[in-house]
Structure 1
Amino acid sequence: MLTIDPQLSESEVTTMFVRNGTAALSRVLTCPPSYLQRAAPINEISKRYANQPLDQTKLQAEYRQLVEIYHQIGVTVEQLTPTTEMPNAVFSRDFGGCVREGYILGRFKKSIRFKESTAYEHKMADLGIPKLGEVVHGFFEGGDFAFLADNVIAIGMLDRTDQTGFDEIKAMLSPLGYQVYPVKAASRYLHLDMCFNLVADHLAVAYVQGLPPDFLSLLSKLAIKLIPVPETAIFKHGCNLESLGHHRVISLKQNQAINAALRSAGMSVLELNAVETLKAGGGPHCMTFPLHRV
């Protein structure tokens, strides 16, 4: 049976970390792209740029622009210190998933990202965010983690999260009252946040034709309206948006049609003018790990 949490008490709000995917964002974890020299050919987007060096000046400017957007709206930005062994750590979303009680540490599939797990685990301990558990047998990356409601979570199973990883996450979250659903889609889309993203409580951007019927049925039951995008938008990071709460969202400046549709739906769109970072395969959602959202 599908249920949704009632309004939480003030004491519950003050002790939680991440209530859902669209409440007011107040604190995030990021990482500068200091050692992202080239786009590693580990996804369909980065393969197109694998033989080209990335422009470091542009990368740093795009990262600073994202941080400045957060500062302007009052979001505290925590930063992981990058190292040469973690070139893709700028995509901080992927090391795990955060809920009310703490976070789950994922397990990367690609060796280029292995070192990030320990670094982010230590950083989360320094920040005082409790670890609820860890995926140790399967694979799970945070780009596949999506709240649909306060106690309803979707886990994408595309290229970087498998059935075993899903089962481990469900076993950790179900006792806490969460309903966890798998979402299977084509591996070329990489992560769920590349083809689906909730931007407000009952509004999402999605490549509808690429999502399974059972997931679309679940979205309908939750009264989530979809802003449809074409498949080509996936590879331009059209769905890789960051909800800020209060009907605000960070989107890419280049995605003008999607941004116009968001504004027509009542969203305030803060545009990130990023191009170089996208070549490595991630956008603003990938670059942001939420720490507090209530």
Structure 2
Amino acid sequence: MYVKDGVSTLHRVLLSPPDFLEAAPINEIAVKWQDTSLDKKLMAEEFKSVVDAYHKAGVETEFLESDKKRPNSVFARDFGGCVREGYILGRFRLDMRRKEHDDYKKKMESMGIPCIAEVKDGIFEGGDFVFLRENLIALGMADRTNAKGAEEVKQALEKYGYEVISVPLKREYLHMDMCFNLVDENLAVTYYDGLPDDFKKLLAKLDIDIIDVPEEAIYLHGCNLEALGDHRVLSLARNHEVNEALLRHGMDVIELPVTEILKAGGGPHCMTFPLERG
């Protein structure tokens, strides 16, 4: 088994260093920093803090080496999604990220993790891949996953017993993990008013409690958290209100001193591709 769901105990992840990362104007956050050179030394320190946090939490880390021809590969989440049987290889919308497709595919092959499906006609990025339950997956459709890509994922996973639902979102939210994340079995952090009514009804049916954040928190990575299992979650040190709410819900919050990497448009969840969870 590779990945059972989105919130059980995380055992192994795939990461990539931000050595060549810049704030390319490809999302609402990075546009604000496009004329700024990101501090490479600071980003290296921040990346180390993420790796150290995983090791302290007992999570094994694998790495795809950095490459100047794929500067955004630090956001490892986006090349696909992982389930019990193996992984789904996505298809990037932007040309500047296409090399990640091939290099992550080779990395997964080198680790012996099978590719059980590949999106070839539509667009699908892993930031839109969200487990709600062990056999229930939500696919966000904002800026980087389209209806054709979502349908390809749905058809590929149905034969393994998964139900896959599509969740239309505002284009500016980029990926679903920027505006919604399940952090424990029955707890999610989200901008609630930004979710479609049908999805809200499903969350209520599943008895998922909501930590609601304002819309501007999306662009500050207030929702971009990584569940570690056992009521533990990685968050940003600057997410004061969210972290306090998580603590009130009984979560163990591990705060990360990450600010510079965020300027390119991704946070802890974006940086993490889960390889083993369960």
- TM above 0.5: yes
TM-score by length of 1: 0.94
2:23 is the counterpart of 1:39: yes
Match of 1:18 in 2: 3
Identity %: 54
Aligned residues: 278
Cα distance in 1 for partners of 2:216, 2:19 equals 29
Cα distance in 1 for partners of 2:227, 2:261 equals 19
- 2:36 corresponds, among 52, 71, 78, to 52
Cα distance in 1 for partners of 2:97, 2:24 equals 11
- 2:141 corresponds, among 157, 162, 166, to 157
Q: How large is the RMSD of aligned CA atoms in angstroms?
A: 0.5
Letter in 1 for 2:185: D
Cα distance in 2 for partners of 1:110, 1:89 equals 13
Match of 2:63 in 1: 79
Alignment of structure 1 residues 23-172 onto 2, 5 Å: 23-36=8-21, 38-172=22-156
TM-score by length of 2: 0.99
Cα distance in 2 for partners of 1:170, 1:265 equals 33
2:181 is the counterpart of 1:235: no
Cα distance in 1 for partners of 2:211, 2:68 equals 39
* 1:128 positional shift: 1.1
Letter in 1 for 2:196: P
SS in 2 for 1:271: strand
Match of 2:196 in 1: 212
Match of 1:11 in 2: none
- 1:199 corresponds, among 183, 186, 197, to 183
1:42-97 per-position Cα deviation (integer Å, ceiling 9, x unaligned): 00000000111000011100000000000111110000011110100000000000
Letter in 2 for 1:24: T
- 1:272 corresponds, among 251, 256, 268, to 256
Match of 2:210 in 1: 226
1:114-156 per-position Cα deviation (integer Å, ceiling 9, x unaligned): 1000000000011111000100000000000000000000000
Cα distance in 2 for partners of 1:247, 1:279 equals 28
1:14-46 per-position Cα deviation (integer Å, ceiling 9, x unaligned): xx100000000000000001111x201000000
Cα distance in 2 for partners of 1:101, 1:75 equals 20
Letter in 2 for 1:62: E
Cα distance in 1 for partners of 2:58, 2:179 equals 28
